[in-house]
Amino acid sequence: MTTQNRPFLDLTRNAFVRQKGEFTLYGTWCNAADDQTEPCLVILPAFRRDGAKPCCIALSSAFKYNDARYLVRKSHHFLQEMGMEPGMTTTHALATLIYDHLQDLIEMPPEPTAAIVVGEADLTMGDGRRRKVEILEHGQLPN
């Protein structure tokens, strides 16, 4: 599938989801150029608002958030994009959330893109029916 047919973000595929106060943080992958994906943090209001835009911090720009001035400016901007009031308390809470999870972003694995069968099981249902199931794990496609 080419990048033209894929959305930039798919929050159903994620490495982790954490709710921290009034924010929900996703560790996921965004679609970059040349059909490649890149780890990213995505932040949304925990209680969805109409018109809220997800805020995305890609691995390639994570180093910028180590500068406190940049982090505060972007946190203020992200709050406005999410339709939230960018006061000192919420700006500080968002900036802390971002800074505290930069290491998680750095440690994220590449996006798993292939389903690999890692096991099979024969199940017997309560009514006597038998069913065979496969246990799948998503793994990176070989280059």
Is residue 6 in some structural domain? Answer: no
Residues 77 and 134 in one domain: no
Is residue 26 in some structural domain? Answer: yes
Q: What is the pLDDT of residue 2?
A: 44
Which residue type does 126 have? G
Measured in degrees and rounded to the nearest 5, phi and psi for residue 139 equal -130, 160
Q: What is the pLDDT of residue 116?
A: 75
Is residue 60 in some structural domain? Answer: yes
Number of domains in the chain: 2
Q: Is the pLDDT of residue 61 over 70?
A: yes
When pLDDT is averaged across residues 118-124 and rounded to a whole number, the result is: 87
CB count within 10 Å of CB 12 equals 7
Residues 120 and 103 in one domain: no
Q: What is the pLDDT of residue 143?
A: 40
Is residue 10 in some structural domain? Answer: no
Q: Is the pLDDT of residue 109 over 60?
A: yes
When pLDDT is averaged across residues 14-22 and rounded to a whole number, the result is: 91
Domain assignment of residue 138, given as a range: 112-143
Q: What is the pLDDT of residue 1?
A: 44
Query: Smallest Cα–Cα separation from 39: which of 9, 74, 19?
Result: 9
**18-22, 119-123, 134-138 — which is least confidently predicted?**
134-138
Q: Is the pLDDT of residue 6 over 70?
A: no
Q: pTM for the complete prediction? A: 0.73
